Chains A and B, each alone.
Chain A
Amino acid sequence: MPKLKTKILSNYFGVDQAWTLDFYRGHGGYETAKKALTEMQPDEITEEVKTSGLRGRGGAGFPTGMKWGFLAKPEGKPRYLCINADESEPGTFKDRQIMEWDPHMLIEGVMISSYALGVHTAFIYIRGEFHLPEVHLSQAVAEAYAAGILGEDCMGTGYKLDVVVHRGAGAYICGDETALLESLEGKRGYPRLKPPFPAVEGLFGCPTIINNVESVANIPWIIANGGEAYKQFGTEKSPGTRLYGISGHVNKPGVYEEELGIPIMELINDRAGGIKGGKKLKAVIPGGSSTPVLLPEECEELTMCYEGVAAAGSMLGSGGLIVMDETTDMVKVLVNLLRFYSHESCGQCSPCREGTGWLYKTMKNLLAGLGESGEIEKIEDIASNMEMRTVCPLAAAATMPTRSYMKKFRGEFEAYLRQVEAGQATLV
Chain B
Amino acid sequence: MKEYTPEQQQQFHAAVAKYPHKKAATLTCLWIAQEIDGYVSLEAMEYIAHILEIPVTAVYSVVGFYSMYNTSPVGKYHFQVCHTLSCELAGSEAVIEHLQKRLNIKPGETSEDGLFTLTRVECLASCGTAPMCQVNREYHENLTPETLDVLIDHLRQEAATHA
Contact = CB atoms under 8 A, between A and B. Distances in A.
Interface string A336-349: 11001001101000
B21 interface: yes
Contacts of B68: 128-129, 169-170
Nearest to B64: A188
Given A129-B134, A169-B67, A320 B84 contact: no
A124 to B, nearest CB: 12
Interface string B25-68: 11110110000000000000000000010100010011001111
B128 A131 contact: no
Contacts of B126: 93, 96
A91 B130 CA distance: 10
B122 A340 contact: yes
B26 A186 contact: yes
Contact of A171 (B61, B65, B88, B90): B65
Contacts of A129: 68, 124-125, 134
Given A187-B62, A253-B127, A172 B122 contact: yes
B89 A340 contact: no
Contacts of B19: 164
Contacts of A127: 125
A184 B24 CA distance: 6
Interface in B125-163: 125-130, 134, 137-139
A88 B20 contact: no
A285 B86 CA distance: 11
Contacts of A171: 65-67
* Residue from B123, B128, B130 with most neighbouring chain A CB atoms (10 Å): B128
B98 interface: no
Nearest to A89: B123
B85 A188 contact: no
Contact of A121 (B20, B88, B123): B20
Nearest to A289: B85
A74 B33 CA distance: 38
Contacts of B66: 128, 168-171, 189
Interface string A269-290: 0000000000000000100010
A265 B52 CA distance: 53
A73 B65 CA distance: 34
B151 to A, nearest CB: 16
Contact of A166 (B28, B54, B83, B129): B28
A185 B21 contact: yes
Nearest to B80: A129
Nearest to A173: B65
B56 to A, nearest CB: 14
B27 A186 contact: yes
B124 A169 contact: no
A131 B89 contact: no
Contact of A204 (B21, B58, B83, B137): B21
B101 interface: no
A418 to B, nearest CB: 25
Contacts of B127: 90-93, 245, 247-248, 253, 320, 322
Given A127-B125, A169-B30, A169-B68, A186 B24 contact: yes
A169 B27 contact: yes
A333 interface: yes
Nearest to B63: A169
Contacts of B27: 166-169, 183, 186
Contacts of B18: 164
A366 interface: no
A245 B127 CA distance: 8
Contacts of A189: 65-66
Interface string A240-273: 0000011111000111000000000000000000
Contacts of B139: 131-132
B28 A247 contact: no
Contact of A322 (B69, B89, B125, B138): B89
A96 B125 contact: yes
B26 A90 contact: no
A185 B128 contact: no
A168 B23 CA distance: 14
A165 to B, nearest CB: 9
A328 interface: yes
10 contacts: A93-B127, A127-B125, A131-B134, A169-B27, A169-B31, A186-B25, A186-B54, A188-B62, A247-B86, A322-B86
Given A92-B125, A128-B68, A187-B61, 9 more contacts: A90-B85, A91-B123, A93-B128, A96-B126, A129-B134, A169-B30, A188-B62, A247-B128, A340-B122
